[in-house]
Chains A and B, each alone.
Chain A
Amino acid sequence: MLSNLLSGDLPRSRRLTAALLAILLALAFGPFLFPGVRAFSMMGMICVFIILVASYDLMLGYTHIVSFAHTMFFGIGAYGVAMAVGTWGNSFGSVLLGMAGALLLTIVLALLLGLLSLRVKAIFFALVTLAVAFAFLSLVTQLYPVTGGEDGMRVRVPRELGPAFRPLEQSLWGFSLPDFCSALVSGSATAWDDALFQVRINGRTLMYYVAFGTALLVFLFLLRVVNSPFGKVLQAIRENEFRAQALGYNTVLYRTSVVILSACLACLAGVLFALINRYVNPENTLAFELMVFILLMCVMGGMGTLYGAVVGASLFLLAQNYLQDLLKLLVTQLPPDSGLANLVGPERWLLWFGLLFVLSVYFFPAGVVGQLRRWSARRQQNNPVVEVVAKPGSQTLSS
């Protein structure tokens, strides 16, 4: 059952399974475990970025297509909804209409890009996508009357997804994990009671669960795709495109469909982003910096594993949101005005952020997921007593 849901592609590492379960539970019960606006918005972003990075991994990790236009499709989705809601009012109809329009534009542009890869290969294709993405960015910035230019657009979401909507009369109880932990550390006798807090279910909570559900479904769908015969052809193209052609696969067709599929999912992530963040501007949807972040999450998590997208997005956004607090905490532990305290000053968080990446790439060259799998495979080789993990193919042969 579980294997079927995961399309036979199990985590294949105990530590990875534990990490994925922790992420799944944290996201599923997030609003009831982590109080505060910042935690709530970060969890929403993790859901959006799981879709965005997983779909990017389909191109980069599984097919070896390097594209820098992923944020363009993300932006098309976000602006599509923002403009539709701005024009036709905040109804679900206009959200759907905006999404449909955005998807249509996405398919057309992705098709053109995909066909372009017929002519230009590898790094040249990457450069063309970069140029297209920059052209789109400056177009959005220049078209002030339509897109709001640098100011961006406020997205007035349907009432049911906004903070004013209260589906439940009374509020529910939540159990704050961070408060509980800090109470335990300080040795408070009332740790359990201190951790309880009230959760008001409103439209934003609903919107969060829409994003969570979509991310979960998209992720399971992508797992199915990469473990299907189609996905195997993609990996064949990654390994040796020349031979894939000689085996009778029209690789241009496969590459084009992957670019389109991946772009459509990025567009969907953009739609969710606009509805969760309720504000879109070129910086938070189209900037090149965002593209680099997606690339980093994909590489840090582990290319060509899909699970890497979940781990990468979660780790990255956690670091981005909480590294400053961690440093603040460190400074209080150090002698004031010493060199070390200056070095870990919270205003230097970007330095440590960068250092974290360098270290993670150095120690996890195959990404977190790739490295965890390698370790567990090595352990199994050293202990032959441990059950042999059979690949899906051999299972069907024996049955």
Chain B
Amino acid sequence: MALAQPVLEARNLSVHFGGHKAVHDVNCAFYRGTLTTIVGPNGAGKTTWFNLLSGQLRATSGQVLLRGEDLTPLGAAARTDKGLGRAFQLTNLFPGLTALENVRLAVASRHRTGHVFWQMSSRRSDIAGRAFEVLQTVGLDHRAESLVANLPHGDQRKLEVALLLALEPEVFMFDEPTAGMSVDEVPVILELIAAIKAKQDKVVLLVEHKMDVVRSLSDRIVVLHNGELVADGEPAEVIASPVVQEAYLGTSPSAAEVAL
């Protein structure tokens, strides 16, 4: 596995806010067909690191490479266009549009039809049809015509995942996709993520706190602590390692309970 070319690679990636090293010198490569979970106590820099990878935040130093191509100078839009897809931890949707219109925007971006101004968007049945399919996969087809602002929180989380699915990226980045969902909704999302993994041709990155989820889904676990990468390897091995236990116990005992 180590011999294949990584799809996504972070090289010496750092971002410093004044004296605070939010992410410091992280090296990590991700390969096709693997699901990697990023764990770490609150404030460890997981989301910040995601922001560096997907371009929401500019790195102080270091590089982000996709299939060997340097993405560091590119902004978020261009990185998404190249195949880096991102879902957000805090729900981040278009509240004044319907659920279907939200997904349709993602599908249209994937089809690169955003510049078309002479055609009615409702006439693009390919795009609307695909958007409806995606809504069905997350179980939101019955809310297709609801304004997102009127959707309950759990449905908004599902829609957040739907937007990422509709982008059909090469790298899927999920930032706590099941946070705030009710217990019976969580398996739907986890099955979707497992299905992406099962196809074996994508890279999936997942930030997640629920350790049973992490253990059952991940091929690999990366541990961030105080902005630094402190452990990286197979799930069983990482969870048992003393460095990880100390990282969790040292900052947040409750997190350690979940972790162990």
Q: A170 in the interface, Cβ–Cβ < 8 Å? A: no
B129-167 contact mask (Cβ, 8 Å, vs A): 1 or 0: 101100000000000110000000000000000010001
A-B contact number at CB 8 A: 132
Give Cα A249 to B260, complex, Å. 42
**A224 and B114 form a contact (CB under 8 A):** no
If A224-B120, A249-B114 touch, whether A239 touches B95 (CB-CB below 8 Å) is yes
Q: Which bracket fits the contact residues of B?
A: 35 or more
**B120 and A8 form a contact (CB under 8 A):** yes
Chain A residues with CB under 8 Å of B76's CB are 245-246
Give Cα A399 to B128, complex, Å. 12
**B97 and A8 form a contact (CB under 8 A):** no
If A247-B80, A248-B167, A250-B77 touch, whether A392 touches B120 (CB-CB below 8 Å) is yes
Residues of A within 8 A of B (CB): 4, 7-8, 224-225, 227-233, 235-236, 238-240, 242-251, 254, 391-397, 399
Question: Among A227, A236, A248, A399, which residue has its beta carbon within 8 angstroms of that of B94?
Answer: A236
Q: Please list 8 pairs of residues, one from A and one from B, whose beta carbons are closer than 8 Å in the complex, sorted by A's number.
A: A235-B96, A235-B97, A243-B93, A245-B75, A245-B76, A392-B120, A396-B129, A397-B125
**A230 and B116 form a contact (CB under 8 A):** yes
Chain B residues with CB under 8 Å of A240's CB are 92-95
**Looking at A229, A238, A396, which has the most chain B CB atoms within 10 Å of its CB?**
A229
Which of B58-66, B99-107, B204-212 lies at the interface?
A: B99-107
Give Cα A245 to B119, complex, Å. 23
Question: Among A233, A394, A397, which residue has its beta carbon within 8 angstroms of that of B105?
Answer: A233
Q: In the complex, what's the smallest C-beta–C-beta distance from A56 to chain B, in angstroms?
A: 18
B25-38 contact mask (Cβ, 8 Å, vs A): 1 or 0: 00000000000000
- Nearest residue (CB) in A for B131 is A393
Q: B17 in the interface, Cβ–Cβ < 8 Å? A: no
- 10 shortest interchain CB distances as A-B pairs: A392-B122, A248-B80, A239-B94, A230-B117, A248-B109, A396-B125, A248-B81, A228-B117, A229-B116, A245-B77
If A239-B94, A394-B145 touch, whether A232 touches B117 (CB-CB below 8 Å) is no
**A231 and B105 form a contact (CB under 8 A):** no
Question: Among B88, B96, B120, B127, which residue has its beta carbon within 8 angstroms of that of A239?
Answer: B96
Question: Among B54, B95, B114, B127, which residue has its beta carbon within 8 angstroms of that of A246?
Answer: B54
**B145 and A391 form a contact (CB under 8 A):** yes
Chain B residues with CB under 8 Å of A399's CB are 125
Give Cα A198 to B115, complex, Å. 50
Chain A residues with CB under 8 Å of B116's CB are 228-230
Question: Among A228, A244, A254, which residue has its beta carbon within 8 angstroms of that of B120?
Answer: A228
**A8 and B95 form a contact (CB under 8 A):** no
If A239-B96, A246-B92, A248-B81 touch, whether A392 touches B167 (CB-CB below 8 Å) is no
**B144 and A394 form a contact (CB under 8 A):** yes
Give Cα A240 to B167, complex, Å. 17
Give Cα A246 to B91, complex, Å. 13
Question: Among A8, A244, A397, which residue has its beta carbon within 8 angstroms of that of B129?
Answer: A397
Q: Which of B41-100 contact A (CB under 8 A)?
A: 54, 56, 75-78, 80-81, 86, 88, 92-98, 100
Chain A residues with CB under 8 Å of B145's CB are 391, 393-394
Q: In the complex, what's the smallest C-beta–C-beta distance from A40 to chain B, in angstroms?
A: 35
